[in-house]
Amino acid sequence: MSVSRRTLLLAGGTAATLLPLGGILPAAQAATPSAARATPAGTPIPDPIPVTGTWTRTSDGGQKAAAGRRGPALALSEQQLAAKGTYAARVTPQSSSSVGALVFRAALDGSTGYAVALDPGRSRIRLYDLASGDTFATAPLPGTRTARPYDLEVAVDGPELTVHVDGKRLLHTEDHRHDTGSVGLLAQDGTVTFGPPSLSSVTTNLTGWTTSGGTWTSSPLGWRSAPTQGATARAITTTKAYDTALQADLLLHDASAIASLLVRTDATATHGYGVQVDADQGRLRLYRIDGDVTLGTYATTIKTDTVYRLRVEAEHDELRVHWQTNFLSPDGYSPVITAQDSTHAKGRLAVTASAGAVSFENIAGADLATGLQGWTVRSGTWTPDLRGIRGENGLRTAPFTDGDLVARADITPGGPSSSAGLVLRASANGSGGYEARLEAGRNAVVLLDRSSGARLASAAGPVRRIASGGTYRVEARATGRSIEVYVDGVRALKTRVSLTRGAASGTAAAHGASYFQNVEVHSTADYFTQPYRPTYHYSQLRGSTSDPNGLVYYDGEYHLFHQDQGRWAHAVSTDLVHWQALPIALPWNEYGNCWSGSAIVDADDTSGLFDGGSGLIAYYTSYHPDKPGGNASVRIAYSKDKGRSWQWHGGSTPAVQNPGGPDAGWTFRDPKVIRDEAHDQWLMAVSGGDHIRFFTSTDLLTWTQVSSFGYGDWATPGVWECPDFFPLPVDGDKDTVKWVLTLSTGAVRATNGSAAQYFTGEWNGTGFTPDQKAGTVLRADSGRDYYAAMSFYGLPDDRRVWLGWMSNWDYPFSAPTGAWNGQLSTPRELTLTDTADGVRLTQRPVPELVTLRTSTTTCKNLAVGPDSANPLAGARGTAYEIEAEITLGTATEIGFRLRTDDDQHTTVGYDAEAHELFVDRSASGLSDFTQYFAGRTTAPMKTTDGRVTLRVYVDSSSVEAFGADGQAAVTSLIFPGPDADGMAFYAKGGTAHIESLKVHRLDSTFRLVDRVKPLVAAPAGGEFRSNLGKLTITPAGSWSTDSAGRAASFDKDSNAISARTATDLDLTTLVRLGGPDPDTGGALSLLWHASSDGADAYCLNIDPDLRVIRLVAKANGFFDDGAALARVPALVRRGTTYPVRILTEGDRIQVFLNGTRIIDVTDTTYADGHIALNVFGGRAAYQDTYAKEL
């Protein structure tokens, strides 16, 4: 894994933020509840798109809706409203019967959410649930005015919902059903006119805010605090926590300003801990508020109008402060202040400003990761925690009505007698249902009937004892009258139950405190059934799956570790096919990220780590983001309980230091460790970028470098990564053994983004001598999408099986798959075969895959020519295996068209003239999310007596083709539509003969239902208002018109270039960054005075993840950040619309954001040229884009 890979892995992630605490806090001013009237700075939202009814855009940018007898008129915007914000519009019912409503926190299709309705005919306002129609609250509407405007506004702060009409608060209530969702408009029983809706919000996951000591104004550029003279402006949440973290991005507007973050504080912010950012003193200060006791300081230059990221962590008695000053090359991984203090164990979270104005953005506290909305505390005490959420003697539920479900969580019993579990099929108020419970005091897994208290089934921990402090993955599968409970990846119990439905799921804790993280509940219809989700290839429920790591077989289990954003994710299997996910095995630690590596079984306690027993040892690349080049080194972790928990070894000293020294940044990563039996030693291969270093050891802890291989003429294009090194017999002859060195290279055009390569040769115990000449490249897989392949250690019968990551460094995390990203190949068994060209690596899908076959279509002894009928016309499927033996005859090409639907298909075939196996995905489906996806990939392949043998594995989003008994392999991702389930066999140039052809349907290894569920989509439609004329897209990209205007999604730069040119101009537009949800990132650039391809231009670059707006003169498609004409730090955010204006006159360039001039410079690089719109790194959009020549 390289530095560029880290950038891609972490790009767009919500990094931890740190904020400072004000100085000595004066006596607390009277607090102003968040429900009080505020004056937020609203911004426009993307156009609401009609779902039902008739809608017309008005001249002022509003909407006119007509609802008839068939039901209400509903229109939805992609704009989201989450924890805290205000949504407003002027609403004018056109008759006494007409009802106008604001919709918020709604599903994309409007099936769920809230609505607040103005009903002048009944002289009331009404707040209700969209799905059920339940009314939460009503209030009288004073001064009924039919056909006159009402200024309607709804403010949300977590479950608190407040409604103002004409500036007066009329309604305030609390409801927990919906946490986030889209906003929109709704009309009933007639015609309603809406003025342009606007929204203001605070990006935070904290709720129950109370402000005092000054003004707090939300805007698209942060939550701005302006303290009263001599006072401290405070914003304090009702959220309380023990072990916690609080982060924020901040910008000081005044040199005298002091910004602060508080943890474990009280309702008046006079107790607890704080960290101050003090520009005047040039320092961060960590202190205990009561007594104003300094606990630590950090000297640093702090500038005004510059964005910083601050984070404070409180864990037990330790306090840590992190400080990030650079967003382009992120720093701040290590704490700059660490202190011990035990005065306060629990309290609230807060932010403050004193002595000047400060803006805060992305204010986030540690919290539970979950896909459920509407959590409600039913009993006990529940507090967010560094470990997720802490529950003590109580119940917490969320609405969930599907009876057939999969619930899972990572559960940590907190005490020796603690019980903690997942609740399912409970009633709406949390009573009844069942609980899949862990009991630490009894070492028991229990299924409890919560109505009667009966223990329906129980068992001991299936892998290790259930004990306090251990973290266990618990999964409950409820289908009909059956419930199965898995713990640590192993089924612990299964029993019959009587209750088949419920209205809520949740978490329960008893006999003290326990901790819950990654709580997910899914209907079986939603579980691993999304479009493109693999049927039988490994993928995560959520997260980014990449390099396989630490593949090992131990005590009857296959362990699959893999990269997930610099951590080792983990799954286990007993058959190489069905995998059970476990919690993250190796998380980030104080020494850095845990990049790729390997694992072995220390069967004889050679290391001395296992008290005379056996266990697993993992060797991983430790990459520290704050150090030069990451200062990569090899570190060790080990497990005594079959990989369920891990301990770090070595302290601050790595097992193998970076070869450049303790502070060096040399490329050094991806250690692969194996046993070298022939020389009675352990062997480690580590990548050095253009070479491999070999180390040996006799104790698994102390390593000595003995040689290296590579450099010079041996180096192939791209960076060498993820080496594997192992011996294999040639043609099964154990007396003739070759060593195989495999590696992956990327990311350069010469390798089409990525390549899987290998060498064969001899190993003498200290050095590797290859059979090939320098410069010779052997491909393990010729496809675009096979990378970082790694083999299992310790398989029975000396099998060598490996897995690869199915992706490419041209588009590593760009696949359009949503919450999950990345999948792994089928496991393949490796052998060596002596061919006419030399010894070659052969790979065949493992025989365990045969168990997935459910039914078979067979053809044999059939001649097929160019005009023949399709012998597979009746066969359909999206997940299957093909076995084929074809005699070419006079045909020049034979093949299969797979995943077909209208013009959509992927072709797998053999070119008899070129002697090549090929996969062509030019028409395979979605491909415009990146530049280099579509096309044809080939692998050299010879036939035997004119016969072609093929074995093809097809899944929802991949094709793996093997030819000549595994001597040729091509792996390709594809993204066809879910209805593309047809297939065909064809022959070109002559007649071929099908000797044997079998299509085996394959069962799913994850799904519990046999179908793919379509995604809930936002309403289609929209318009782009502009005078730019026709836009030409270059070099590629998916541009369309939707609610946000002219939008595009692309992983790199995509330009939409207007034919219009201008010298002096006034360019205005609304720009939108990212997608409807906060997880979808994206940035953009406005180009002018541009060349026809956009390579040379002035460029206004807005990137919310870099927190900066840059004006540059781009040349040949590139620009130097250090040579920017202007660089303006700004708290720009995802999911928000910004008005932008660019004014150029002569050599003067002015830029306005939200009506404020932010750039005024002169430059003469370009005098005239085209106008263009640019999107990069995700999704962005433009609306109301007009250019006026001056």
Domain boundaries, the chain: 43-202, 209-365, 388-523, 545-806+829-843, 847-1002, 1031-1189
CA angle in degrees (0–180, nearest 5) for 1098-1101-1107 = 150
**Neighbour tally for 291: CB within 10 Å:** 10
Q: Which residues pair with 186 in a beta bridge?
A: 74, 101
Taking the C-alpha atoms of residue 877 and residue 854, their distance in angstroms, rounded to an integer, is: 12
Copy the structure tokens of residue 956: 């929802």
CATH number for 847-1002 (one of 1.10.3470.10, 2.60.120.560, 3.90.730.10, 3.30.70.270): it is 2.60.120.560
Each residue of 513-533: pLDDT tens digit?
999 999 999 999 999 999 899
Copy the structure tokens of residue 410: 């990572």
Where the chain has pLDDT below 70, the residues are 1-41, 144-146, 1012-1017
Residue 1045 and residue 1151 in contact, taking contact as beta carbons nearer than 8 Å: no
Residues tagged active-site: 547
Q: Give the per-residue SS3 of 1109-1135.
A: EEEEEEECCECCHHHCCEEEECCCCCC
pLDDT at 669: 97
Is-cis flag, bond preceding 747, omega within 30?
A: yes
H helix runs in 101-249, sequence order: none
What are the DSSP calls for 279-308, one per residue? TTTTEEEEEETTTTEEEEEEE----TT-EE
Q: Give the per-residue SS3 of 747-800.
A: CCHHHCCEEEEEEEEEECCCCEEECCCCCCCEEEECCCCCEEEEECECCHHHCC
Residue 967 per-residue DSSP state: T
Tell me the three state secondary structure of residue 122. Answer: helix
Q: Give the position of tokens 């320092």.
A: 283
Each residue of 839-862: pLDDT tens digit?
999 999 999 999 999 999 999 999
Taking the C-alpha atoms of residue 1106 and residue 145, their distance in angstroms, rounded to an integer, is: 48
Taking the C-alpha atoms of residue 567 and residue 584, their distance in angstroms, rounded to an integer, is: 7
The mean pLDDT value of the chain amounts to 94
Residue 269 and residue 1093 in contact, taking contact as beta carbons nearer than 8 Å: no
pLDDT at 1015: 61
Fold of 545-806+829-843: Tachylectin-2; Chain A (2.115.10)
Q: Which residues pair with 721 in a beta bridge?
A: 744
Residue 956 per-residue DSSP state: T
pLDDT at 692: 98
Strands 54-57 vs 214-219: parallel, antiparallel or unpaired: unpaired
Q: Which of 411, 364, 404 is nearest to 388 (CA)?
A: 411
Q: Which of 759, 947, 762 is nearest to 840 (CA)?
A: 759
Q: Which residues contact 69 (CB under 8 A, 6 or more apart)?
A: none
pLDDT at 770: 98
pLDDT at 20: 28
Instruction: Report the chain's C-alpha Rg in angstroms.
Output: 31
Q: Which of 154, 351, 106, 375 is nearest to 252 (CA)?
A: 351
pLDDT at 343: 98
Which CATH superfamily does the domain covering 43-202 fall into? Exo-inulinase; domain 1 (2.60.120.560)
Residue 360 and residue 481 in contact, taking contact as beta carbons nearer than 8 Å: no
Please give the CATH number for the structural domain made up of 209-365.
Answer: 2.60.120.560
pLDDT at 38: 42
Please give the CATH number for the structural domain made up of 388-523.
Answer: 2.60.120.560
Same fold, 545-806+829-843 and 847-1002: no
Distances (CA, A) of 510 to 387, 432, 493: 18, 16, 21
Q: Which of 134, 97, 142 is nearest to 115 (CA)?
A: 134
pLDDT at 40: 52
Which class in CATH covers the domain with range 1031-1189? mainly beta
Tell me the three state secondary structure of residue 868. Answer: coil
Strands (E) located in 16-72: 32-33, 43-44, 49-52, 54-57, 63-67
pLDDT at 1012: 67
Tell me the three state secondary structure of residue 643. Answer: coil
